[in-house]
């Protein structure tokens, strides 16, 4: 088996690359360990808590005991299915802030400033705002990825935005447009009531072409001969074989599995590879380092009015929602229910938002456990730019062994300050008049917890990953010892090998990572094809008073 380009991983970035390279006439082969994404658990947006917790679709990774969280091991879901994590995620669509990409460019990822990436965000999208405002000039009109908004017909969605406005924050019609900062409608990758994963948007159309092929196999390592990647060693049906790449191998296997594959192939920190008896091909100390994620907790309130989704949180209700979706692709099952959002700054002197809110009209956990209180609602909240850094390392030289994942969450004093600030700012927002008709009492953290120490105890026990791991194969300047890939996504020190997925992010972006990961695949495909979209001269909005006021 061989192709011009062999892509490891049919996830957010890999699907986009397969689509663009095959569109340009190249023979492409995609290797994916996971199976089909058919069936309602993945395709029905309202069922999002299921696939993330199913071993059939998830690699089942866990962090090492986190030293600053009392030794808790946090689950780290990654999609093991066509579409990768875009098939098991919450479908929230956030581009990230202009400031994120400008920071990338300043830190050595030249050509990845906001002006450079905005044209790719526009190329990948078809945006349908449902008549809820926003500026179409900032958005894409005919891309493969459909982005839309929920109906927002639960009065809680509007009350949340009004409360933010009453607390003195801006309102934004489109956080993915000119102005991210503020309260407004949330966007999702849903099309005609169906999850619009990277598989539905990119891979399935690409596979209709004669020059794009998908093979189910477990990638063991990249085969490197005389300093050049020439293929991928895979296991299929109990046999080990090599799939050859005539031009390049592209790793899009996730921020967990891409560094693992590089290390198994002899690319990584020399001493660590030697520990596991792996011959060093390229000593790249940055491989597996710089691991980042977003942590959040669920701020839960009991509702005075029985208007939340809790009324469907029983066998009959779920059956009704499921049946309505199955036959008509409409109703509550056609939305991820994250229909209002906010991005705010934690303090004066912070130049762009560093706190994100997802608002949900039910009090429930990601694993589908509803709050015992009955009717309630919640806001997921957490800081966006923690200074904590973790690492991915090998447990052994056996490709079958899961890598060791240590996020090193909450390792700085500032992390704790930022989280306490999140709690206090959120209480203030939910204390506004707009929420008065709905707020009965605070379920979690609970009014009793007020002091720094009490809040720290709550944070230690209750923060959860937002499942946004990234940064483990950092993109940067060729002379940066910690950079793994150059700004063309080429692995430094090896020919014919690129990495393109969230592992190459120099620093985590503001919000959910599926959008930026797909953009990375779109832009990487142009680097591979030796072409580039012209940069944009659109200027994103920064709060003019950021130096002197928090809102």
Tokens of 483: 């950079």
Nearest-10 crossing angle of helices 514-529, 12-23: 30
CA angle 294, 295, 300 (to 5 degrees): 130
All residues at 6 or more sequence positions from 409 whose CB lies less than 8 Å from its CB, including other chains? 66, 68, 69, 74, 293, 295, 386, 388, 390, 415, 463
Sign of the CA dihedral running 128, 132, 136, 139: negative
Strand-pair category, 295-303 with 439-444: antiparallel
What DSSP state is assigned to residue 407? Answer: -
Q: Does the annotation place 89 within a ligand binding site?
A: yes
Q: Does the annotation place 92 within a ligand binding site?
A: yes
* Cβ-contact 54, 41 below 8 angstroms: yes
Q: Does the annotation place 350 within a ligand binding site?
A: no
All residues at 6 or more sequence positions from 37 whose CB lies less than 8 Å from its CB, including other chains? 43, 57, 81, 82, 83, 87, 197, 199, 200
Buried b (16+ CB within 10 A) or exposed e, 514-524: bbbbbbbbbbb
Q: Does the annotation place 382 within a ligand binding site?
A: no
CA angle 13, 516, 477 (to 5 degrees): 85
Concerning whether 441 is annotated as a catalytic residue, the answer is no
Q: What is the largest CA-CA distance in the chain?
A: 70
Whole-angstrom Cα distance, residue 537 to residue 176?
Answer: 16
- Residues 97, 375, 380, 468: which is the catalytic one? 468
* Cβ-contact 181, 165 below 8 angstroms: no
- The CB-side HSE value for 165 (13 A sphere, CA atoms) comes to 11
* Cβ-contact 90, 512 below 8 angstroms: yes
Q: Phi/psi at 389 (nearest 5 deg)?
A: -130, 140
Segment 317-321 long-range contacts (CB within 8 Å, at least 24 positions apart):
321/46
All residues at 6 or more sequence positions from 478 whose CB lies less than 8 Å from its CB, including other chains? 486, 492
Q: Residue ranges for the binding site for FAD?
A: 81, 89-92
Q: Residue ranges for the binding site?
A: 81, 89-92
Catalytic residue annotation: 468
């Amino acid at each position: 088996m061989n192709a011009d380009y062999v892509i490891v991983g049919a996830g957010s970035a890999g699907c986009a690359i397969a689509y663009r390279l095959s569109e340009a006439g190249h023979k492409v082969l995609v290797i994916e360990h996971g199976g089909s994404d058919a069936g309602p658990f993945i395709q029905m947006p309202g069922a999002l808590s299921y696939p993330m917790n199913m071993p059939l679709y998830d690699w089942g990774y866990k962090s090492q005991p986190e030293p600053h969280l009392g030794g808790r091991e946090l689950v780290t879901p990654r999609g093991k299915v066509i579409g990768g994590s875009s098939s098991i995620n919450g479908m929230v669509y956030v581009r990230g802030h202009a400031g994120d990409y400008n920071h990338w460019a300043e830190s050595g990822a030249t050509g990845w400033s906001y002006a450079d990436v905005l044209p790719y965000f526009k190329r990948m999208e078809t945006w349908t705002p449902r008549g809820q405002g926003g500026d179409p000039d900032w958005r894409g009109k005919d891309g493969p990825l459909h982005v839309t908004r929920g109906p927002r017909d639960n009065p809680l969605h509007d009350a949340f935005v009004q409360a933010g406005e009453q607390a003195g924050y801006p309102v934004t019609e489109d956080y993915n447009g000119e102005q991210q900062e503020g309260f407004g409608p949330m966007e999702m990758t849903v099309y005609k009531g169906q999850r619009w994963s990277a598989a539905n948007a990119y891979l399935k159309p690409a596979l209709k072409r004669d020059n794009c092929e998908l093979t189910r196999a477990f990638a063991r390592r990249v085969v490197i001969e005389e300093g050049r990647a020439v293929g991928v060693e895979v296991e299929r049906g109990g046999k080990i074989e090599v799939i050859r790449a005539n031009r390049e191998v592209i790793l899009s296997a996730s921020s967990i599995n891409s560094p693992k594959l590089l290390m198994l192939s002899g690319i990584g920190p020399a001493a660590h590879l030697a520990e596991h008896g792996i011959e060093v091909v390229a000593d790249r100390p940055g491989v597996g380092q710089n691991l980042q994620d977003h942590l959040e907790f669920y701020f839960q309130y009991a509702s005075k009015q029985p208007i939340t989704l809790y009324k469907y949180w029983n066998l009959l209700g779920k059956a009704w929602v499921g049946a309505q979706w199955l036959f008509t692709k409409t109703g509550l099952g056609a939305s991820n229910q994250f229909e209002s959002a906010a991005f705010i700054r934690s303090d004066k002197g912070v130049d762009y938002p560093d706190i994100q809110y997802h608002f949900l009209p039910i009090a429930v956990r990601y694993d589908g456990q509803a709050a015992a209180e009955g009717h309630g609602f919640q806001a997921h909240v957490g800081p966006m730019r923690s200074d904590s850094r973790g690492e991915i390392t090998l447990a052994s030289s056996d490709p079958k062994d899961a890598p060791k994942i240590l996020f090193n969450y909450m390792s700085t004093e500032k992390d704790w300050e930022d989280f306490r600030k999140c709690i206090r700012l959120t209480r203030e927002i939910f204390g506004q008049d707009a929420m008065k008709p709905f707020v009965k009492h605070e379920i979690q953290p609970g009014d009793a917890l007020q002091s720094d120490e009490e809040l720290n105890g709550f944070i230690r026990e209750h923060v959860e990953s937002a499942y946004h791991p990234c940064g483990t194969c950092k993109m940067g300047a060729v002379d940066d010892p910690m950079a793994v890939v150059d700004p063309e996504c080429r692995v430094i020190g090896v020919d014919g090998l690129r990495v393109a997925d969230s592992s190459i992010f120099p620093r985590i972006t503001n919000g959910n990572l599926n959008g930026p990961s797909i953009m990375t695949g779109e832009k990487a495909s142009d680097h591979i094809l030796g072409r580039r979209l012209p940069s944009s001269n659109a200027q994103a909005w920064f709060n003019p008073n950021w130096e002197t006021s928090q809102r």
